[in-house]
Amino acid sequence: MSDDYIYLSQGGFDRLKDELHQFKTVNRPKVIADIKRARELGDLSENAEYHAAKEAQEHLERKIGELEFKLSRAQVVKDIRHDPDTAALLSIVRVRDLDDGEEITYQLVSDAEADLVQDKISVASPVGKAMMGHRAGDQVNVETPGGKTSYEILEVRADTEGI
């Protein structure tokens, strides 16, 4: 077993705790009731409802285990002691793609909180790694699976609201 922490913002930690609570107090009792109801239908060997409910239970228990593991390894990042003008974990970084001029704002987060839909990228990703330690005005070159991309960092700011 690894001794690595899973770094989370307070908001990310709270979301995982809420999700775990939902799974244990709402979803688990529902799945158990579904299994009980399906059992009452008779022959389990040909009971599709029973097999679907058991599969849902396995999936739910696996998810609960994953969340419990993450929370047990979680280290909440509350006070980031770095230069607020330098990109680091939880920084918000506005960049311009030098190929097409598109501007985008990313938040640099841990793997556990990465979500491209919300423009939260992992500090372990190629783009996240390239931005770490850089400041506004710096140009970073990124080797991605899609090819080389260059960004100009326009702004770096600390996340003051939590994720």
Residue keyed to tokens 């990109």: 87
Co-location of 15 and 65 in the same domain = yes
| Whole-number Cα distances in Å, 30 to 34, 44, 67, 120 | 6, 19, 19, 33
In total, how many domains does the chain have?
2
pLDDT more than 70, % of the chain? 93
pLDDT digit string (tens) for 48-101? 888 899 999 999 999 999 999 989 988 887 655 567 789 988 899 999 999 999
pLDDT of residue 79: 56
pTM of the model: 0.66
Residue 82 lies in a domain: no
Residue 105 falls within a domain, yes or no? yes
- Does 134 reside within a domain? yes
Residues 114 and 64 in one domain: no
Burial class (CB in 10 A: 0-12, 13-18, 19+), 117: exposed
Residues 106 and 139 in one domain: yes
Give pLDDT, residue 29: 97
- How far is CA 157 from its chain centroid? 20
Residues 55 and 30 in one domain: yes
Does 17 reside within a domain? yes
Select from 31, 46, 76 the last residue of a domain.
76
Claim to verify: residue 10 and residue 72 sit in the same structural domain: yes
The tokens describing 68, both together, are 């419990």
Both structure tokens of 152: 């100009």
Say yes or no: 57 and 118 in one domain: no
pLDDT (0 to 100) of residue 3:
54
User: Looking at the domain assignment, is residue 86 inside a domain?
Assistant: no
